[in-house]
């Protein structure tokens, strides 16, 4: 029977199908942008409703749009540090992580977010140097726009950066443009610069120490399950106590003031209770498990999910001010016509920050979550546990020592610390080599037969991501400052009320 198909028609249909597929994928990629624009429009309309009839209302509407844009970028970039390790270790799916983080970020912002914020962020600029209300509003607006643009660029290139540092750079640049270099408190800026080194190093070292303990005391033991029954309740108790202390210091500080000693005592009490409660639970959960690493991973999954939720709550409580602090300052100044060192945050302004962070996470968060969770180095629940715990422990230690630290730098530094420690431990640990020799001699043979070049090629931390992220950290403050200064010069000629 003769073939009656027309080759030319088939080719044309294939081309049409390819075009339709490409168009569909492109349209799918435009949905988050469309939703973001719709959110910003709603924010502008809501702001207009709250300030209608006010002289200078257009300034507040414009600032609200920029504040919403900043909140979207914080959600897209910063929240990845809280849930990325849990997703990368497969303790949570991407969807569940996005939902849990969005709920707890919003709850943290609305329940425990600061009702009063400093208008001159982190005390960088002398408040007496910027007393003219037009100058002040232009400076805050420039800081907000520049930091939002920089965080957006960092998200696009796949670099988790500190949004606090971005807003600090923006305030510094606008302050210099408005009142000169003498207006900057350079000792404060020096402390912030020191945190670029302190935060990731502390986070990396603490995460590596916990991973070393897990490897030595559980993973490379002859009876892993018996070791897990002994030590996993202790590790969970340490996590519970640490996160209790962390939340007491940072997560609810705007609701109730708790000093470091009291917070630690509360954490110890909670840790002891959790240890007593989890011992029988882990014993029951570990029954029938095979004596291998895959079995151990099941025991760490629930603590990871809880830690991701608590980190998101604390992040929402603390970092919402990065989005709405300058906006609240602008609202206060336009409404009352004076520049105050501290201002109250109206509920509608806090709501913009809370929902903006959640929308940014849901729409754009997966890219950075994958970067932190799996693309820097491979994580499993035990390594992710070390990263999550390190974030809380480092903040507590820094509070005790009075050191400025960045939660973003801590979390990413902890991921790097886990990866670099694994590289060192795989190559140098005599205990690991002895255990592998006794239990998996064929693996030992493969390790011994690898050339130095092959070992170098198979490094456990991707150097390209390391260089990109570190470079973005270094550039954040100066880049935001330069951009903010330029924007201030433009806005200072436009803003009058």
Domain that holds residue 69: 34-428+461-491
Write the CA distances from 33 to 19, 29, 218, 271, 337, integer angstroms: 22, 8, 47, 44, 35
Q: How many Å apart are CA 490 and CA 471, to the nearest integer?
A: 28
Whose tokens are 């002040």? That residue is 136
pLDDT in tens, 63-77: 999 999 999 999 999
Place of tokens 């260089």: 467
Please name the residue that has the structure tokens 């570990």. 286
pLDDT given at position 22:
54
Whether 326 has a pLDDT exceeding 80, the answer reads yes
- The answer to whether residue 356 is domain-embedded is yes
* pLDDT for residue 153 is more than 90: yes
Give the residue, 116 or 253, on which the prediction is more confident. Answer: 253
pLDDT tens digit sequence for 168-182:
899 999 999 988 888
* Least trusted range by pLDDT, from 180-184, 282-286, 419-423, 492-496: 492-496
Q: Is 319 left (phi over 0), alpha (psi -120 to 50) or beta?
A: alpha
Q: Is residue 22 part of a domain?
A: no
Residue 19 within a domain: no
In a domain, 441, yes or no: no
> Is the residue at 200 inside a domain?
yes
Q: Are 423 and 461 in contact (CB under 8 A)?
A: yes
Please measure the distance between the N-terminal and C-terminal CA atoms of the chain and give it in whole angstroms. Answer: 85
Cβ-contact 124, 188 below 8 angstroms: yes
Burial letters 296-309, b for 16+ CB under 10 A, else e: bbebbbebbbbbbb
- The total number of structural domains that make up the chain: 1
Percentage of the chain beyond pLDDT 90 is 31
* Buried/exposed 478-492: b ≥16 CB within 10 Å, e otherwise: ebbbbbbbebbeebb
Long-range contacts of 259-262 (CB under 8 A, 24+ apart): 260/396, 260/399, 260/400
Each residue of 53-87: b (16+ CB within 10 Å) or e? eeebbebbbbbbbbbbbbbbbbbbbbbbbbbbbbb
455 has a pLDDT exceeding 50: no
Confidence (pLDDT) at 479: 94
pLDDT (tens digit, 9 = 90+) per residue, 117-128?
665 555 788 777
Q: Is the pLDDT of residue 152 over 90?
A: yes
Residue 214 lies in a domain: yes
Average pLDDT rounded to a whole number, residues 413-433? 85
Number of separate helices (H) and strands (E) present in the chain: 17, 2
The CA distance from 264 to 382, in Å, is 24
Average pLDDT score over the chain:
83
Question: Is the residue at 11 inside a domain?
Answer: no
pLDDT at 271: 94
For residues 361 and 300, what is the distance between their CA atoms, to the nearest angstrom?
25
In-domain check, residue 198: yes
């Amino acid at each position: 029977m003769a073939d009656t198909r027309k080759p030319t028609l088939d080719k044309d249909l294939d081309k049409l199908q390819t075009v339709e597929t490409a168009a569909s994928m492109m349209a799918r990629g435009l949905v988050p942008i469309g939703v973001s624009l719709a959110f910003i429009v709603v924010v502008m309309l809501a702001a207009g409703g709250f300030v209608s009839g006010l002289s200078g209302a257009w300034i507040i509407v414009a600032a609200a749009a920029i504040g919403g844009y900043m909140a979207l970028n914080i959600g897209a970039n910063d929240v990845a540090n809280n849930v990325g390790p849990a997703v990368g270790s497969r303790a949570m799916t991407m969807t569940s992580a996005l939902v849990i983080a969005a709920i707890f970020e919003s709850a943290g912002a609305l329940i425990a977010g600061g009702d009063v914020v400093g208008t001159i962020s982190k005390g960088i600029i002398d408040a007496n140097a910027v007393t003219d209300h037009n100058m002040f509003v232009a400076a805050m607006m420039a800081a907000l726009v520049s930091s939002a643009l920089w965080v957006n660029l960092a998200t696009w290139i796949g670099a988790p950066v500190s949004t606090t540092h971005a807003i600090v750079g923006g305030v510094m640049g606008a302050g210099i443009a408005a009142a000169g270099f003498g207006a900057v408190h350079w000792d404060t800026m020096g402390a912030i610069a020191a945190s670029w080194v302190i935060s990731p190093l502390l986070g990396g070292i603490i995460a590596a120490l916990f991973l070393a303990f897990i490897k030595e005391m559980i993973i490379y033991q002859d009876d892993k399950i018996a070791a897990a029954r002994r030590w996993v309740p202790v590790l969970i108790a340490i996590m519970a106590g640490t996160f209790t202390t962390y939340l007491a210091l940072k997560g609810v500080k705007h609701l109730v003031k708790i000093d470091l000693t009291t917070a630690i005592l509360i954490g110890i009490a909670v840790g002891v209770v959790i240890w007593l409660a989890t011992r029988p639970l882990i014993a029951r959960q570990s029954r029938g498990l095979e004596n291998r690493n895959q079995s151990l991973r099941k025991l760490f999954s629930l603590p990871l999910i809880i830690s991701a939720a608590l980190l998101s709550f604390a992040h929402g409580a603390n970092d919402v001010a990065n989005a709405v602090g300058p906006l609240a300052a602008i609202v206060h100044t336009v409404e009352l016509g004076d520049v105050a060192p501290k201002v109250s945050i109206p509920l509608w302004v806090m709501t913009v920050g809370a929902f903006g962070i959640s929308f940014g996470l849901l729409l754009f968060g997966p890219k950075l979550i994958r970067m932190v969770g799996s693309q820097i180095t491979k994580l499993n629940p035990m390594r992710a546990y070390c990263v999550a715990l390190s974030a809380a422990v480092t903040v507590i230690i820094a509070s005790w020592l009075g050191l400025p630290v960045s939660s973003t730098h801590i979390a990413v530094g902890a991921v790097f610390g886990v990866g670099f420690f694994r590289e060192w431990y795989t190559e140098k640990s005599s205990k690991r080599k002895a255990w592998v020799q006794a239990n998996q001699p064929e693996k030992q043979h493969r390790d011994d037969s690898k050339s130095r070049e092959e070992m170098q090629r198979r490094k456990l931390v991707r150097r390209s991501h390391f260089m990109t992220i570190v470079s973005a950290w270094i550039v954040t403050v100066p880049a935001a400052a330069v951009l903010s200064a330029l924007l201030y010069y433009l806005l200072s000629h436009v803003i009058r009320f």
